Amino acid sequence: MEVRTGSPVCLPDSRSRCWRWIMSDDRRLRVWAPDASTMEVSINDVLFPMEREQPGSDDRGYWTLGDPQDGTPIRDGDRYAFSVDGGPLRPDPRSRRQPDGVHAPSQWTVRAPESMPAGYAPPAWATAVVYELHIGTFSTDASFDGAIGHLDDLVALGVTYVDVMPVASASGARGWGYDGVALYSVSESYGGPDGLRRFVAACHERGLGVLMDVVYNHLGPEGNYLGEFGPYFTDAYRTPWGSAINLDGSGSDEVRSFLIDNARQWMRDYGCDGLRIDAVHALYDHTAYHFLEELSVATERLSVDLGRSLVLVAESDSNDPRLVTPRAYGGYGIDAQWSDDFHHALHVALTGEQHGYYAGFAGIDDLATSLRDVYVHAGDHAQSRGRRHGRPVANLPGERFLAYSQNHDQVGNRGQGERMCHLVDPERAKIAAALTILSPMVPMLFQGEEWAASTPFLYFTDHGDPALAQAVREGRRREFSGFGLDPDQIPDPQEHGTYRASVLDWTERSRSPHADMLEWYTALLALRREEADLRYADRTRVSVECDSAAGWLHLRRGCIHLHATFIDAPVVLPVLAAGQALTPLLHSANARHEHGRLCFDSPGVAIYRR
């Protein structure tokens, strides 16, 4: 449904709960269904015929309610649903609320105006520290209100932006969020639209920016009725989830508008400060005006209208810098993208794993390449792909890229949902934290990593269709049997216990060894914030040296030096020439300065100013 605004309209009153009349020149129910022969809408179980819009010969396939001269009553809270060609009633593709689930009628909801705390301005992106969280597992309440209770902890840690995993309505009460099917509706299990507004307002009151994760490359498998309304999907391309979203075929103009309007909603109506866009490499668009460029332009215009900065962050595995190159220079104009190459190189250097997409990564050498050049694969052969991959980022600034040692994918897509702290010892986990937080990119943390959370982050679902639930269960087991794991040891995504095991235990933060790791993360983030050479995501004053055989890496950012060793043997590194002096800033327990040398008894990290 598209709501058009025009002349004044009778809105619901808290005392009289008056009717709001849907008129052609005020507000009206409007739905896109270009191939339908008839369209009806049920309002509170009363069926009304709809009429095809035909502005001249330009029939784009929209239907509206009734004769423009007549009024049809609908009010806040009313349930409504559409029937295409006499078929079953379906929720509104643009539904703002699905209180009874994604299969039930939609609830008519008036858009609330944006409300910002006085004096709030989004944090500067060049000095951003991002924290990815999942509302359903971030707190024991599994809600927006529950998450609010931990925001002060994030502020104390040094976080400036929270990246909220998707909250669009999906089947069931729990899941990662990437199976959303009602893209305009906020999950009721988390607190619905009002809960999201409270969460965003609470973030802003603390100076935290909010990035909303959106999924525009596919819809979930259960409750996805978009295809019954129009050509939202195309078989011209295939994605890991099935048919691709139609961005360049017949009818794609309206599909693109559907997605662009959805993006505006999160930033305009809920006050989010930007979006994280899922897997943009699966957005297939061969038009001259790529969808991501169109989204960039729309976001820039909305930023002007709202009078505040907005940020677009993309997930992409294409290693194509055009994604984050300004439009004036031939790029798409996205503000930043995730850097999987940094993660993979760091992971291999610390764990030695070489399976799957880790194949071909050379550990310390590639980690040095990523710290210096961002992409490890910038046009060379990638073993895991069996072909050349990527292109150089040239002189793009560090703020265009996010560095991370963990995220929901890299943890949750493991068979047992293991975090870095479950795979390596605490000293190696501290190396991961130091290289991520002090990298010349925007650092991103994944919920709980700052205290080495004991809880995993498992893959969990709540599908209502038994056949779908079994298919997901069996597919998960097949996937990991190829990694040598016993299929019976893979947690069942549908089991409630799988979800419960992933909920963070905030009480352990004050206990050893978690308190020690939290202190380390807090100190690293304070160092990044306080040191001018570390504060900005700046690649211009960076040098990296390494010796993979000797097991060490040296990162220099201006006058700040970081040395890390990765091998289980003593390492001695001369760091001072005659007459030089250094100022120790931070080091792990097994590192020490002695007579101009750094001495490591085992893997560790030391940071100093020289």
Please report the sign of the dihedral spanned by the C-alpha atoms of residue 75, residue 76, residue 77, residue 82. positive
Active-site position among 163, 179, 315, 335: 315
Cβ–Cβ under 8 Å, residues 473 and 494: yes
Give dist(CA 588, CA 114) in Å, integer. 46
| Three-state SS sequence of 356-406 | HHHCCCCCHHHHHHHHHHCCCCCCEEECCCCEEECCCCCCCCHHHEEECCC
**Which of 322, 523, 344 is CA-nearest to residue 438?**
523
Residue 315 annotated among the catalytic residues of the structure = yes
Token pair recorded at residue 414: 């493991």
Cβ–Cβ under 8 Å, residues 48 and 40: yes
Element (H, E) at 46: strand 46-52
Token pair recorded at residue 402: 């996010």
Name the residue type at position 67: D
Rounded alpha-carbon distances, angstroms, from residue 70 to 7, 21, 24, 25: 16, 9, 9, 11
Residue 254 annotated among the catalytic residues of the structure = no
Burial of 550 (0-12, 13-18, 19+ CB in 10 A): middle
Rounded alpha-carbon distances, angstroms, from residue 166 to 184, 327, 588: 11, 27, 36
Residues 6+ apart with CB under 8 A from 467: none
| Burial profile 567-588: b = 16 or more Cβ within 10 angstroms, e = fewer | eeeebebebeeeeeebeebbbb
Element (H, E) at 43: strand 39-43
- Say whether the peptide bond before residue 603 is cis (omega within 30 degrees of 0): no
Rounded alpha-carbon distances, angstroms, from residue 511 to 82, 342, 506, 514: 54, 31, 10, 6
What DSSP assignment string belongs to 285-348? --SSS-HHHHHHHHHHHHHHHHTS--EEEE--SS--GGGGS-GGGTS---SEEE-HHHHHHHHH
Any long-range contacts for 89-92 (C-beta under 8 Å, 24+ apart)?
89/42, 90/225, 90/228, 90/229, 91/182, 91/225, 92/1, 92/31
Name the residue type at position 592: R
Name the residue type at position 150: H
* Residues across the chain: 610
Give dist(CA 105, CA 554) in Å, integer. 59
Active-site position among 132, 163, 278, 293: 278
Token pair recorded at residue 60: 């784009």
Give dist(CA 463, CA 460) in Å, integer. 10
Any long-range contacts for 512-518 (C-beta under 8 Å, 24+ apart)?
513/426, 513/452, 514/451, 514/452, 514/453, 514/454, 515/451, 516/426, 517/421, 517/426, 517/429, 517/430, 517/433, 517/450, 517/451, 517/452, 518/157, 518/450, 518/451
Task: Please report where in the chains the tokens 């040398």 appear, as a residue.
Answer: 597
- Catalytic positions are 278, 315
